[in-house]
Amino acid sequence: MSKGKVVIFCAPSGSGKTTIVKHLLQTNPRLMFSVSACTRKQREGELNGKDYYFLSQDEFQKRISSGDFLEYEEVYGGNFYGTLKSEISRIWEMDKVVLFDVDVVGGLNIKNYFGDLALAIFVKPPSVEVLEQRLRYRSTETEETLKMRVGKAVQELQFEDRFEKVILNDDLHKALAEAEVLVNDFLMS
């Protein structure tokens, strides 16, 4: 893999990282979103190759065995998520900077792999209670999956200090502006 810069956004579900990532993609033409692979069911409105690369459990396992993943992990009861090496190459071939929206463990693995070529940003919710309200507002969770996501969020918040930068998302406008500055400064360095 040729070397280029990567920007990693990590946060517990409901922290606002996807909103920030979408904003950056709209405002910074140097960035390109890294589409993750997963084994979970495709949701209504999601497109294969745009939102995720939707793979069967068997296909995902074969790709693990073939060494096709930069990183992967099993989350939320048997579903696998990961970053295909081919996705990074695809983006770099277009002379773009890879922008990741991944969970905390995946983000730290990517950061370790790329070292100084990576900027890892943790997006922090104002509180676990606010995070739970945001997840409820999305209406995509059952009570069981909501409890799982909140429990995982509490664990993920403990990793905050392993990231170079932390954005507290208590005011979205301010968080978006802070993200723009952090990314632009990194790309200029």
Tens of pLDDT, residue by residue over 134-168, are: 777 777 778 887 888 888 888 899 999 999 999 99
Residue 136, amino acid? R
Provide the pLDDT for residue 106: 87
Tens of pLDDT, residue by residue over 13-54, are: 878 899 999 999 999 999 999 999 999 999 899 999 998 999
Provide the pLDDT for residue 3: 59
In 45-117, the DSSP E strands lie at 53-54, 69-75, 79-84, 97-102
Predicted TM-score of the model (pTM): 0.86
Residues 6+ apart with CB under 8 A from 174: none
CA separation, residue 91 to residues 66, 84, 180 (Å): 21, 12, 20
- Is pLDDT above 90 for 5? yes
**Full set of structural domains in the chain with CATH:** 6-188 (3.40.50.300)
* Distance between CA atoms of residues 26 and 16, nearest Å: 16
